Amino acid sequence: MKIKVSQTSQTPIYEQIEQQIRQQIFSGELKAGEQLLSIRALARELRIGIITAKRAYDDLCNENILVSRQGKGVYVAELDRELLREKRCSDFRKQAQQLITAGREAGLTLEEIHEILEEEGKSGAFL
Amino acid sequence: MNAIEVRGLNVRRDHFEMNNVSMEVPKGCVVGLVGRNGAGKTTLIEAIAGVTETGSGTITYDGMSIWENEKQIKQDLGVVFAEPWFNNMTSPRVLVESIYPWYPDFDFKYFVDNMQRMEIDANMTINQYSSGMLRKFLMIFVLARRPKTLILDEPTTGVDPVSRNEMLDLLYEFMQQEDHSILFSTHITSDLDKIADYIVMLEKGRVIMNESKEMLQSRYQYSGRGLPDIETIMLDIIGEGTLPNKGGR
């Protein structure tokens, strides 16, 4: 688990933590069942208040992304793979919509955008 | 449960009066006591430490009054005063050896390990220490008694950033235990703000603010400058601030 927080950001610290943990779970960096740092260890690691660290974990537990086991610690929840895939698919769809809008603004037709996507996909340059 | 709970405390001194002060240190939390010089921070800390005479009002420790279980309360309470209370012509080694028999719980290994870790020579006389070394030594000395509640009066005055960071390390280590709590005072923004869960602000012997840092910062979040530090919030509340949206009293 790698988390960085900015004390001067407009985004509250607990939200910065939540975003990064969520992202790492969806990307597979954090695996189901993996144990996270304890609340107090996280506070120490990030140099933040204990209540702030607790808030971040509590929120993610309420989203059922993390599970807290009394006296044992906080773990990444066993997420429903099908559900996770759907979620990631819908996230990608949103990004695709933005990409198409950007393409249209650049004066490209849908066919041209499609061609670019295929070319880039085949060249594998993004890897 | 509160590690420390102060209710309606009054203290009268020659040129100073503390009025109806109520505040608490929730168990497992860190409370920063802020306010300018003369606001009453040291008086409040001395009252909690039981070294100053108080008027009406109550102070409880884990729900107990001092006369209910003085021995236990004093054992669990570690206080780092702003001024060292011992002869500073002595060295920490001599000091520890002389008090050791009186404090059976004194963790000698913790003391030696952390003095070494902070690179403080225990054989030097204390008056030769820089203020950073002195503050770190005092903190280690009190922590070595293995208290559950730690109270620090102006722990970072005159301390350089590197040493402040080391002190913060010691405090975070102490807070890894869920039943440990900290109350510290400061008149300047220091790195210690980072560890605080609650901020209590004193002004002219009264509590003018008592809030969680989370709440406090979210109130100021839309000022367009990012999250302000405690010093900015303090100036704002006392009425000399520059933030566009006033926090108000």
Residue owning tokens 């952390």: B114
ipTM of the complex: 0.81
Mark the ranges of chain B whose per-residue pLDDT is less than 50: 245-249
Predicted pLDDT of residue A127 = 45
CA distance B193 to chain A (A): 9
Cα(B106)–Cα(B141) distance, integer angstroms: 9
Q: How far is residue A127's CA from residue B231's CA, in Å, rounded to a whole number?
A: 47
A118 pLDDT more than 80: yes
Cα(B84)–Cα(B181) distance, integer angstroms: 22
How many Å from the N-terminal Cα to the C-terminal Cα in chain B?
27
Beta strands across the sheet bearing B2-13: B16-26, B2-13, B58-61
Chain segment B171-230, per-residue pLDDT in tens = 999 999 999 999 999 877 667 788 999 999 999 999 999 999 888 877 776 555 555 666
What whole-number distance in Å separates Cα of residue A91 and Cα of residue A80?
Answer: 16
- Could you tell me if B30 lies within 8 Å of chain A, comparing CB atoms? yes
Instruction: Please give the order of strands across the beta sheet that includes B206-212.
Output: B77-80, B149-152, B181-186, B30-34, B198-203, B206-212
Bridge partner residues of B202 (DSSP): B207
DSSP state of B88: T
Structure tokens given for B60: 């409880």
Q: With an 8 Å Cβ cutoff, is B221 touching chain A?
A: yes
A46-73: pLDDT as tens digits: 999 999 999 999 999 998 889 998 888 9
CB B65 within 8 A of CB B58: yes
Q: Tokens representing B164?
A: 């402040």
User: What pLDDT band is residue A28 in, cutting at 50, 70 and 90?
Assistant: confident
- pLDDT at residue B186, rounded to an integer: 87
Answer yes or no: pTM beyond 0.80. yes
- Is A87 an 8 Å CB contact of chain B? no
Subunit contact A50:B227, Cβ cutoff 8 A: no
Would the CB atoms of B194 and A49 count as touching at under 8 Å? yes
Contact: B175, A40; criterion CB under 8 Å? yes
Closest C-alpha to B220, from B208, B233, B231: B233
Pairing of strands B206-212, B30-34: unpaired
Backbone angles phi, psi at B27, to 5 degrees: -60, 135
Placement of tokens 């040291």 in the chain:
B42
Residue B69: is it exposed, middle or buried by C-beta count within 10 angstroms (0-12/13-18/19+)?
middle
- Taking the CA of residue A45 and the nearest CA in chain B, the distance in Å comes to 9
Which residues of chain A make contact with B194, given a CB cutoff of 8 A? 7, 47-49
* Beta carbons of A50 and B221 less than 8 Å apart: no
Structure tokens belonging to residue B239: 């009425």
Contacts of A54 in chain B (CB under 8 A): none
- At residue A71, the pLDDT reads 81
Is B175 within 8 Å of A47 when comparing Cβ atoms?
Answer: no
Cβ–Cβ below 8 Å for A50 and B214:
no
